[in-house]
A and B are shown apart, each in its own frame.
Chain A
Amino acid sequence: MNGLARVVSTHQAFDPNKVVGEVAHVSQTCLSPIATQVDTKGYYPLDVMSKLGEVGAFSAHLNRYGQRFDIALQSMHEISRSCGTTGFLTWCQDVCGLYIEQSGNPALMARLEGHAEAVTFGGTALSNPMKSLSEIERFLLKAKKVKGGYEVSGTLPWVSHIQQGQYCGAMASVEAADGSMSHEIIFLLDITPEVELKACPIFSGMEGSSTWSIRLDKYFVSEDLMIADPARPFIAKIKGAFILLQAGIATGITQASIDSMRAADVSLGHVNQFLHDRPDAIQAELDALAQKVMLLAKTPYETDPDFILSVLDARAAGAELSLKASQSALLHQGAKGYLMTSGAQRLIREAHFVAIVTPAIKHLRWEMNRLMKEEMPA
């Protein structure tokens, strides 16, 4: 039980003001050197994740640790600045912790500290449910009520930050006896041997995100695994926080792009001056965005449509900015940036991931459009 002993000690030593500095240090020393390996070779950096967990990278946003979303976001920013994939894994770990804590389920709460401090790992299989709730696609997992819980079947195509022995939040649509859909449940899915994990095709980057296709056949969800039944009120409550946390990946990748431009300027500044989207301009845009995000982070569980709209907008702005910044980083690097192994190439792939991962830019706009329409009688 060495792991648990460690949990207790770090929990007591948790100092929110030190977290970001320590996270930055671990990221620069342990993550930066392996970023390309993670991105292209599929190295799943759980070893570094453990170190990040030890210094508090995945716990600051949790109520038990003081609900400091600002620190969680800044930590994610520093991690993503070194490695976008690990930034994404950080988000997975963060929101999974949020599901566990917000469930209020004692059986799950008992697992919170181990998760928050990266003794155990788990992700989130909520891409399909989030899109389903926004009426973009249909639920892929179906649940049937059985004695003592539910049986869940179906296939989810791409679920990240999982492997045997880990877990993830998942959501299923409950089928009534007459075949109609009554409501949804959200539960913690333990990846046990009965859960089939299938390898995904090769992605253009972010290969170290340990992303699998999950197949469930009558997987039993006991009450001990239940996060929320019905799921919708729960999702409404965590939606803002869920999306807002992703902004940390975008700001980190943007910052890394600015770092790359400034590094290139040392020798190429005389020609780079003719480029648009120069580092100072991108930095000003990034600072303004970060300021907005930090303001939103003060009330992460707000459910007012105006708040959700601002969160969606900030998340979209982050994705757009990281696309612009990473492209500019490549242009600043010039021919060197066109090498397959160039950091700028990785930034481009990472930024595109931010732009397409749920909620993708197009989903965000769809959802903003949906929210801004005036509701009228049907």
Chain B
Amino acid sequence: MSEEQDWKKYLCRACGLIYDEKLGDPDSGLAPGTRFEDIPDDWECPLCGVTKEDFELLAAEPMPACQGGVQVNSLESIVVIGAGIAGWSVVDELKKADPNLPVTLISACSADLYHKPELSIALSKQKSRDQLVQESGVSKAERLGVQLLNHTFVVSIDVERRCLRTTRGEMSYRYLIIAQGAKASVPSHIPKAFAWRVNHLDSWSALQSKLQQSSQRVAILGSGMIGCELAEDLMKAGHEVTLISRDALPLCSLLPDDAAQRYLARLQGVNISFLGLQEIISVEETHSQKKKILLSSLGEIEVDHLIVATGLETDGRLASQAGIDFDQGIRVDPNTLKTSNEYIYALGDCISLNGHPCRFIEPIIKQASVIAKQITGLTKSGYAHTPPVIRLKSKVLPIELHGTPLANNDWKTLYSSDDCLVLEQYQEGELSSRLNVGVIPSAFKQVLINRGTQL
């Protein structure tokens, strides 16, 4: 065994970033070859800012080389729809389980690999599309021996004949895995031609090319996590940002009011203008391609660009047309991730578990592994969903949520200072959720550890 194979990889549970001991993290001073246990406790995930304790060991199974080459389409093939993190993860897991398994990956885009959570912080880091791409889809497909159909849309699924109709013809499948993701929803009265959505590398890249020319005025509709992260990123990149929200406070579906107030104050502190309790009535384009936005009570504002970040939704077309159960997403068995059709699985942003979508990165690799095991029949281990750590990629006020808070439950204040707020929720006497707002002083961190309230 060569020394190289001893290097371990650790997965950030919040954002899915992988810390590779071999590569280290030179940007934050960790030289290549820094062992995970040697990383200082105050080190933060370079992407989302959580600390070491929210990393977990990534099972170090090397990717076996393919022996089968590109497979022809046949009933033996496992077909995966979607080449985002979910699609590629399940391909990885299938090939790990059986390198000779014929796998076909269908992607509407180029299928290039990138880490989607990076998109909301990449502008201020002056990243280019090329820098965000970790590997081209074509190269990865070749390496794994996967048949890749990129720039291809799946139009319909014929469940009786187990075949897909695509914009490049028909294709049979033995098992189908849907990883189609979710689309950014745009209110129907806002023309899509006027509304950027940052939910894909291609749209990010198109927006980035517009923004890199000069400092511009950008309005963001929606003050959830994506809207807020983008607002901070754009501000840091030198743009004038207006955050429009139908709520009175930002992040209000995530945070109790006092925490949201603190976050708002910090946003305003860096000159991000927050327009709360506003609906967009209409958007028009001026002769000089500016966007004139009419707000419900504040009148008109004019900006160079409008970004819509009002949430994600799964396109139900494929599922409904194939007769697969759909409820806020493609319904899957929470244990097996099988849809209501025996030969179709689904994972990632497009699914719903008991009627709830879970659109975070962290659960995806586990879901991919469960599906691969189900299909290859290696082991029948099931999926057990655990709520991921939610971490706002914020520089003005880091926010971290553990567990699953209930909207109506009271938060108990554990610690409060000008810079930091720690709240907890209990359900039936048990600690169910903890919210950290701001940087926790190291002295209090120790208190938390002593309390044994790590979720």
Given contacts A313-B165, A316-B165, A365-B167, contact A372 B196 (CB under 8 A): no
Q: Is A294 an interface residue (CB 8 A)?
A: no
Asked whether A288 is an interface residue with its Cβ less than 8 Å from the other chain, the reply is yes
Q: Interface extent on B, as a size class?
A: 20 to 34
B158 interface contact, C-beta 8 A: yes
* Contacts of A262-313 to chain B: CB distance below 8 A: 284-285, 288, 306, 309-310, 312-313
Is B206 within 8 A of A313, CB to CB? no
Judged by a CB distance under 8 angstroms, whether B378 is at the interface is no
Q: Is the Cβ of B167 less than 8 Å from the Cβ of A306? A: no
The distance in angstroms between the C-alpha atoms of A99 and B264, with both chains bound, is 58
Task: Tell yes or no: B140 within 8 A of A by CB.
Answer: no
Given known pairs A288-B160, A306-B317, A372-B153, the reply for A377 and B167 (CB within 8 Å) is: no
Give complex CA distance A377, B198 in Å: 12
Q: Verify A320–B153 contact, CB threshold 8 A.
A: no
A-B contact count (CB 8 A): 53
Interface residues in B171-223 (C-beta closer than 8 Å to A): 183, 192-197, 200, 203, 206-207
Contact call B193/A377, Cβ cutoff below 8 A:
yes
Q: Is the CB of B153 within 8 A of A285?
A: no
| A375 interface residue per 8 A CB criterion | yes
Q: Which of B151, B167, B193, B196 has the most CB of A within 10 A?
A: B167
Verify if B375 is at the interface (C-beta below 8 Å from A): no
**Per-position 1/0 for A341-378, Cβ under 8 A of B:** 00000000000000000000000011011001111111
Q: How far is the CB of A325 from chain B (nearest CB, A)?
A: 14
Asked if A317 is at the interface of the complex by the 8 Å CB criterion, the answer is yes
Complex CA–CA separation, A285 to B162 (angstroms): 12
Q: Which residues of B contact A288 (CB under 8 A)?
A: 158, 160
Which residues of A have CB within 8 Å of B192?
A: 374-376
Contact of B155 among A285, A366, A368, A378 (CB under 8 A): A368
For chain A, the bracket of interface size reads: 20 to 34
Interface residues of B in 116-169 (CB under 8 A from A): 151, 153, 155-156, 158, 160-161, 165, 167-169
The answer, yes or no, to whether B271 is at the interface (CB within 8 Å) is no
A377 proximity list for chain B (CB < 8 A): 193-196, 206-207, 305
8 shortest interchain CB distances as A-B pairs: A375-B192, A372-B153, A365-B167, A369-B167, A313-B155, A368-B167, A376-B203, A313-B156
CB contact under 8 A between A368 and B153, given known A285-B161, A288-B158, A376-B206: yes
Q: How far, in angstroms, from A374 to B313 measured CA to CA in the complex? A: 14
A-B contact pairs, 30 of them (CB 8 A): A284-B160, A288-B158, A288-B160, A306-B317, A309-B155, A310-B156, A312-B155, A313-B155, A313-B165, A316-B165, A320-B170, A366-B167, A368-B153, A368-B155, A368-B167, A369-B151, A372-B155, A372-B167, A373-B108, A374-B200, A374-B203, A375-B193, A376-B196, A376-B203, A376-B206, A377-B193, A377-B194, A377-B195, A377-B206, A377-B305
**Do B165 and A376 touch (CB < 8 A)?**
no
Cα(A373)–Cα(B151), bound, Å: 10
Q: Is B282 an interface residue (CB 8 A)?
A: no
Question: How many Å lie between the Cα of A199 and that of B135 in the bound state?
Answer: 55
Partner of A378 from B158, B161, B193, B317 at Cβ < 8 Å: B193
Which B residues between 83 and 105 are near A, CB-CB below 8 angstroms?
Answer: none
Which residues of B sit under 8 angstroms from A309, Cβ to Cβ?
155, 317
| A365 cross-chain contacts in B, Cβ below 8 A | 167-169
Inter-chain CA distance A288–B195, complex, in Å, is 39
